[in-house]
Every structure is written in structure tokens, then in C-alpha cells.
Chains A and B, each alone.
Chain A
Amino acid sequence: MSVTVTAPAGPEAPGQAAARRRPRRRWGRVLLPLYSWLIIVYLVLPIAVMVVYSFNRVTTGLPQVSFGWNGFTTKWYREWSNIPELTSSFWLSIRLGLASTLLATVVGTLLALALVRYRPPRFRGKALLEQVLFLNIAAPEIVLGASLLGLFVTINVARGFLTLVLAHVAFSIAYVAVTVRARMAGFDRSLEEAAQDLGAGPWVTFRKITLPLIMPGVLAGALMAFALSIDDFVTSNFVSGSSVPFPVWVYGATRVGIPPQVFVFGTAIFAVGILCAIASIFVGRKKA
């Protein structure tokens, strides 16, 4: 896998050769970062608007979100828990997101490991499994939701938090597996082999060698799973029973008008996400 190259003997000054070896410096330093930050700003734009309008005053009547600016107030942050069902739906979605992300990441990563390392004939049914994964991604959410409701009714499982977790993991596994697998596709087995040569058992090898190396992919998959879960409406609507996840409540409230506290919760979720992002810098630095 390693390539041995001898530098050509020649009259070049070392600096010149080095400069040619990294000609992407101009791109890398200016244009790409600028572009990337622009994209991030674009992605964050509607969230920023939401944050701004979470401080919007409501003049009279049923408190609801309004895009006509009425003045600044922190009232909605002080009265954030004013609407009991909204607050409980928010906490439900958080718990649901954490639970399903944890399960989906573990199950999906194991699956990705299997898919990357083994091929037929050692791994019979691999192709079939891959088709099933793609099918899971391709299936319209509404079919997943309706079919799961049918299943839960038939086997007489009460619809609630449990069925929500089961459903959320079911649609997240494929995304986690595909994401982790893409990361692992060029994974260098020699490190693992070296560890095992040195006497490490499979679990130790996994914990100390494999896992840290695939961690970026695993984290990406976990993030995807969490985003999918916390934002899921269609499937959740079908299998939630009388428990009401956050997106379901918000969508139902649009008939009357969504209360400003919805923007407060949205801001809170976003703030936590940003904090995680910032925290990851320090984690990354420690590793380096």
C-alpha cells in the first residue's frame, strides 16, 4: 500500500519543490474557505431568522409567531414552559432522539463493519442486505409509517415511546450504515492485523485501533440519525399513539397558529448543536 518514491536529484531549490508539491495553497487558503463559510451561512440563514423572531413581541391576542416585527422582548424565553403540551413534546423528542441515535449508531456501525470486511462467499446474502438498505432509503416515509402502524396493531403493541424508538431506529440504520461504510471503504486492515499479531484480542483491537479510526464516520452517522429523528414527522405521526413528538405538535398547531415558544425551542436545539460543534474543536485538538 505504501509507495516508495525517491526525490529526483536536480538543481531545484527545496522550497520550489515543496511549493509545487502543495500547489493548492491559494485555493486552500482563500477561495475554498470563503465558499464553505458562505454555504454554512446560507444553511444557517433561516435558523438565524427564527432566532431573531423568537424575540418578537406579540401585541395582542393569542400569542403566535409573527413575521411582522413588533419590538424586542425576552418574554418567550421567560415563559418558555407556558404551554404544557409543547414542553412535554419537546422533551419527548429529545429523549426519543437520543435513544434512537444510540441504538441506530451501534447497530448501523456493526452492519457497516460486516459490509466492508466480508464478501461472498464468506458473507452469503450480502448483496441482498445491501439492496434492503437502499430500499429503506428509497421507500417514501409515508409507506414506512403506515406499514409500521399496521404491524404494531396486528401484534398488539401499544403505540407510544417504544414504538417511536423502534420506528426511528428502523429508518436510521440504513443512513448510519451507508455513512460509516463509505468512511471505512479504504480502511487499512494492516493496523488491525498488526495489533492482533501483537496479541490483542478482537475486542481490544476493536476498541483501541478500529473504533478511533472509524470514529469520524461513526460520528457523522450518529449526527445524521439524530437529525432524522428529531425532525421526523410522517412516521412519528403514525406510530406515536397519544404521545406527541415535537414536529407533530408544531404541525398540528399551524392550524391555529404556532406559539412563539416553538421558536424558543428551535433556538435551544440549535444552540445545543452549535455548542456540540464548538466542543468538538477542543476534542479534536486534544487528540491531535
Chain B
Amino acid sequence: MEQPVLADHSGRLDGSRQGRPRLGKVLAPYLLSLPAGLWLLALFLVPLVVMLSLSLQSCNTATGACVMTWHWGEFGQELSLYHAQLVNSFYLAGAATLIDLVVSFPIAYWIAFHGGAKKNFFLLMLLVPFFVSFVIRTVVWEFILSDNGVILGGLKHAHLLPQNFHVLATGYAVVAGLAYNYLPFTALPLYVALERIDKRLLDAAYDLYATRREAFARIILPLTVPGLFAAFLLTFVPALGDYVNQQILGGTSNTMIGTVIQNAFLVNLDYAGGSALSAVLMAIALVGIFAYARLLGTRTIEEYL
């Protein structure tokens, strides 16, 4: 019987092939990633590096004229001014991310395992509320959560809450807002990770007398780890830089670093300071990612050998 020609993706020659691997095969990864790579290079990396280099420059606020002065002190300056807000942001964004992970996991699990033909419907239902502009959503939340509004007013009327209780203008409202606005960023990656788990593995586990708990802990959970990582990343980091929720729902002492950066760019026109803080934010994100990927990286690769 003729030896089948195997589609060989490692680039190694097998006996039934002649010559070198085709040029197309060698270039495949580069060609596939070329559009994205070029786009990101031209419209993200280059302008980003330029903008970040502004943190080392001295800019005239009025004209926007900047001069490179290698002002490394900018970072220290900004951090000493705003380290409290940075720490604040970690707590608030962290809390919101944890809430989102806990809240999203069951729903992602349910859609992935029990969604059936209606999977896409539920996925869309998770995302559709976020098609509506954040201005509208936040204005409505402000109304819903207002001190004497529908929810709190009713509870106060029934004497379940003290009369001067308020949710708005506290850190809790900010966390709630963040958790609400970033929920799909958590749920979707979790869903896709859960969805691709081979159900046959579970069947096999049950056939081998695994309990429900064991199956979950030893099959599902480990396989979800990359998804958990993606979900955490996609939620925590943008939430860290968020400014809308705190501005509208927060009080006087919940300022997040995102607001400071926003003010730097849009109130002060202090591009140097704003860029410095943004650079710090991204550096923190990168460190976190790097460390996490170290822990996870080797395991993920091994799985796919």
C-alpha cells in the first residue's frame, strides 16, 4: 500500500517527500501573522514608543512643543505624586477581577457544557448589553443606585437600611461598576477555554469512577488554566487603567490611576507626565504577564507537544 503523504508541520523531511519543504510552508507562520504584525507595528508600536518617549521630554503645555531632555526624573516625580492612586487602582481593579472570575466561571461553564444549540445565543446575550454606549450605561447605573432610587429607596422605606446609607460615591460602587463593565472580558475567554475541553475526557474520567468533584478538580480545572489566565489578563489590566467608573460612581477618595492619566492628557495637557504614568502602568502589566507566563508557559507548551 502506498505510504500516505503526511502533512508535516514540523518542517522535518519524511521519506516520501522530495526536496526541501516548500517555501510556502516555511513562510506560513510569517505570512499568517504579517497583516496583524504590520498593523500593530505601524499603528501601535511606533506611535506608542514615540508617545512614551515624551515622558523623557519637556513639553510646553500650550503649544505642545517638546524637547528631548532625557528627563528620567519624570518617572520618580509622577510616582511620588500618585503612588497612592496606583495602589488604590490595584485594590479596586483586583477586587473587580476576582468578582468577575468567580461570577463568570459558572455561567461560562454552563454555556460551554450545557448550552447546546443555543450557545451562540447566550454568548451574544453576554455581550449585547455592551453594545450600548458606556455613557448611557453609567448614567443609568447612577440612577439605579441613587440614594433614594428604586433599589435603595425601597430598602430604606422598608427600614432594612439606615437612612443615610449610600452606595454611590464609595469604593464599593466603583468595584461594582468595574465588575459590571468588564464581565464579558472575563466570561468570553473562560467560555472558549471551557468549550474546547474534550468531553470524552470527562466521560473517560467518569468511567474510571471519578466523582464529580474529582473530575472537576483534576480534569476541567487544569485544562481551564490558560483560559483563566487570559480572562484574568483581559479583565485586570484594562480595569487598572479605567477612569469612567470611578469618575461617575466614586467619591473623593477612590481616585484611580486611570483618572490621573486622563487628567494629565485631557485637563493639564501634560503629555510628559501622562506618558510616564502610562509607561509605569504598562510595565507593571508586563511584569505580571511575564511572571505568570513563566509559571504557566512551560506547562502550556508541553500539553501541545
B7 contacts chain A at the CB level, 8 A cutoff: yes
Q: Return the contact of B33 from the options A28, A49, A115, A281 (Cβ within 8 A).
A: A115
Contacting residues, chain A, for B271 (C-beta < 8 A): 146
Q: Does chain A have a CB within 8 A of B107?
A: yes
* Total number of B residues with any Cβ neighbor in A under 8 Å: 112
Contact B10 A122 (CB under 8 A): yes
CB distance from B37 to the nearest CB of A (A): 7
Q: List 20 A-B contacts (CB under 8 A).
A: A21-B203, A44-B125, A107-B39, A114-B32, A117-B28, A118-B9, A134-B237, A137-B238, A138-B281, A140-B258, A143-B278, A182-B192, A186-B223, A192-B7, A219-B120, A220-B188, A273-B131, A276-B128, A277-B121, A281-B117
Asked if A110 CB lies within 8 Å of chain B CBs, one says yes
Q: Known pairs A134-B286, A142-B274, A277-B124. 8 more at Cβ < 8 A?
A: A28-B114, A33-B110, A39-B107, A111-B37, A138-B285, A140-B282, A216-B119, A220-B123
Known contacts A36-B106, A114-B33, A247-B135, A136 near B7 by CB under 8 Å:
no
Number of A-B residue pairs, CB cutoff 8 Å, is 330
The CA-CA distance from A148 to B48 in the complex, in Å, is 8
In contact, B198 and A142 (Cβ under 8 angstroms): no
Report the bound CA distance from A246 to B131 in whole Å: 12
Chain A neighbourhood of B183, CB < 8 A: 39, 43
Q: Report if B84 contacts A (CB, 8 A).
A: no
Known: A5-B207, A183-B192. A140 touches B109 (CB 8 A): no
A5: which of B204, B234, B303 is its contact (CB, 8 Å)?
B204
What A residues does B266 contact at CB under 8 A?
Answer: 142
Chain B positions 184-235 with a Cβ under 8 Å from a chain A Cβ: 184, 188-189, 191-193, 195-198, 200-201, 203-204, 206-209, 211-212, 223, 226-227, 230, 233-234
Q: Say whether A9 faces chain B, with CB atoms less than 8 Å apart.
A: no
A244 within 8 A of B: no
Residue B1 at the chain A interface, CB threshold 8 Å: no
Distance of A122 from chain B, by nearest CB (Å) = 6
Asked if B113 contacts A28 (CB within 8 A), the reply is yes
Q: C-beta contact mask, B124-152 vs A, less than 8 Å → 1, else 0?
A: 11111111111111011101100000000
> A118 and B29: CB pair below 8 A?
yes
- Indicate whether A277 sits within 8 Å of B120 (C-beta atoms), given known contacts A137-B238, A220-B192, A230-B131: yes
Would you give the shortest CB distance from B305 to chain A, in whole angstroms?
A: 9
- Chain B residues whose C-beta falls within 8 Å of the C-beta of A82 in the assembled complex: none
Closest to B145 in A: A46
Whether the Cβ atoms of A135 and B33 lie closer than 8 Å is no
Given A111-B36, A186-B196, A270-B129, is A40 in contact with B278 using a C-beta cutoff of 8 Å?
no
**Residues of chain B contacted by A148 (CB below 8 angstroms):** 43, 47
Please tell me if the beta carbons of A182 and B117 are within 8 angstroms of each other in the complex: no
Contacts A32-B114, A36-B111, A270-B132 given; does A7 touch B207 at CB 8 Å: yes
**Which one, B7, B9, B135, contacts A251 given CB within 8 A?**
B135
Asked whether B15 is an interface residue with its Cβ less than 8 Å from the other chain, the reply is no
A144: which B residues are within 8 A, CB to CB? 44, 47-48
CB distance from A135 to the nearest CB of B (A): 6
Shortest A267–chain B CB gap in Å is 8
Quote the shortest CB–CB distance from A176 to chain B (angstroms). Answer: 9
Interface residues of B (CB under 8 A from A): 4-7, 9-11, 24, 26, 28-30, 32-33, 35-37, 39-40, 43-48, 50-52, 103, 106-107, 109-111, 113-114, 116-137, 139-141, 143-144, 180, 183-184, 188-189, 191-193, 195-198, 200-201, 203-204, 206-209, 211-212, 223, 226-227, 230, 233-234, 237-238, 241, 258, 261-262, 265-266, 271, 274-275, 278, 281-282, 285-286, 289, 300-301, 303-304
Partner of A189, one of B9, B103, B278: B9
Q: Which residue on chain B has the smallest CB distance to residue A180?
A: B192
Greatest chain A CB density within 10 A among B114, B128, B226, B258 is at: B128
Give, as a whole number of angstroms, the nearest-CB distance from A156 to chain B.
Answer: 14
Using Cβ atoms and an 8 Å threshold, which residues of chain B touch A231? 130-134
Max count, chain B CB within 10 A of own CB: residue among A45, A122, A138, A144: A138
The residues of A that contact B106 with a CB separation of less than 8 Å are 32, 35-36
In the bound complex, do residue B126 and residue A40 qualify as a contact, i.e. CB atoms below 8 Å apart?
yes
A61, CB-defined interface residue at 8 Å:
no
Interface centre among B40, B208, B300 (most CB of A within 10 A): B40
**B124 and chain A: residue at smallest CB distance:** A277
Inter-subunit contact A223/B189 (CB<8 Å): no
Q: How near does chain B come to A232, taking the closest CB pair, in angstroms?
A: 9
* A50 and B131 alpha carbons, distance in the complex (Å): 13
A150 to B271, CA, bound (A): 12
Name B109's closest neighbour in chain A (CB-CB): A32
Instruction: Point out the residue from A119, A146, A263, A284 that lies within 8 Å of B117, measured CB to CB.
Output: A284
Q: With a 10 A CB-CB cut-off, give which of A36, A108, A262 has the most chain B CB atoms.
A: A36
- Kindly state the separation between the CA atoms of A193 and B140 in the bound complex, as whole angstroms: 52
* Contact partner, B241, options A42, A141, A185, Cβ 8 Å: A141
Q: Can you list, as one digit per residue, whether each of A160-192 has a CB less than 8 Å from chain B (1) or not (0)?
A: 000000110111011101110011111101001
What chain B residues lie within 8 Å of A106 (beta carbons)? 35
Given that A143-B275, A231-B134 are contacting pairs, would A223 and B281 also be in contact in the complex, using a CB cutoff of 8 Å?
Answer: no
- Which residues on the B side are within 8 Å of A283 (C-beta)? 120
Query: Are B7 and A5 in contact, with the CB atoms below 8 A?
Result: no
Query: In the complex the two chains form, is B301's CB within 8 Å of A183's CB?
Result: no
- Shortest CB-to-CB span from B201 to chain A, Å, is 7
